[in-house]
Chain A
């Protein structure tokens, strides 16, 4: 079974600095998606960035980028020029494609709480 592990319950970063959130996963599949979601205190989960496993190039969205190491099953999120609005829970998620619709799985990690210090 697939698992997603976020080993950092909480991280802090100074405003304008860079922070990296870690995520590891376990799967026997070769094709899948990985995601980072942001959940502010208001609770609405927002997609930050996604990576397709068959793509070697790391995904980038403005100040957010990932370091995807497929062999190591590692998927870290780097936030550059941190802003106060980046403070939230960040969840790493794995999505299998499944040979059929019934075997499609979406698995979340336990989250990392990011604090941004002014």
Chain B
């Protein structure tokens, strides 16, 4: 069974440029998460989707960040414009749901460097 797929693995851009990250969850997983992980820190949730609905985006900086999961499968996270402080690893995870016992599976992440 394929795991959570993310692309690109690495991205280097100049500040004020836009950037997008893509995530394909494990087949059949209804719940999709985007996390931000700063160097030396644990992941912090940006947004959680239940199918195509964003049910928790309280930590997403909506002035520059946006996300979509149009058909309830793969998802895109966008930053426009990027700032120096956005340099981090962006992790995607998925799970069957949020009920008891539903484990999150993580992708390898996208390392963003903003120059």
Contacts and interface: CB of A to CB of B under 8 A. Distances in A.
Interface of A: 4, 37, 42-47, 50, 52, 91, 93, 97-98, 101-102, 104-106, 108-111
Interface size class of B (residues with CB under 8 A): 20 to 34
A43 B108 contact: yes
Given A102-B55, A102-B56, A108 B108 contact: no
B33 interface: yes
Contacts of A101: 50, 55, 98
A45 B33 CA distance: 13
B100 A97 contact: yes
Contacts of B93: 45
Contact of A47 (B3, B40, B44, B104): B104
B104 A111 contact: no
B108 A42 contact: yes
A42 B100 CA distance: 29
A47 B103 contact: yes
Which 5 residue pairs spanning A and B have beta carbons closest together?
A108-B42, A45-B106, A44-B108, A43-B109, A104-B98
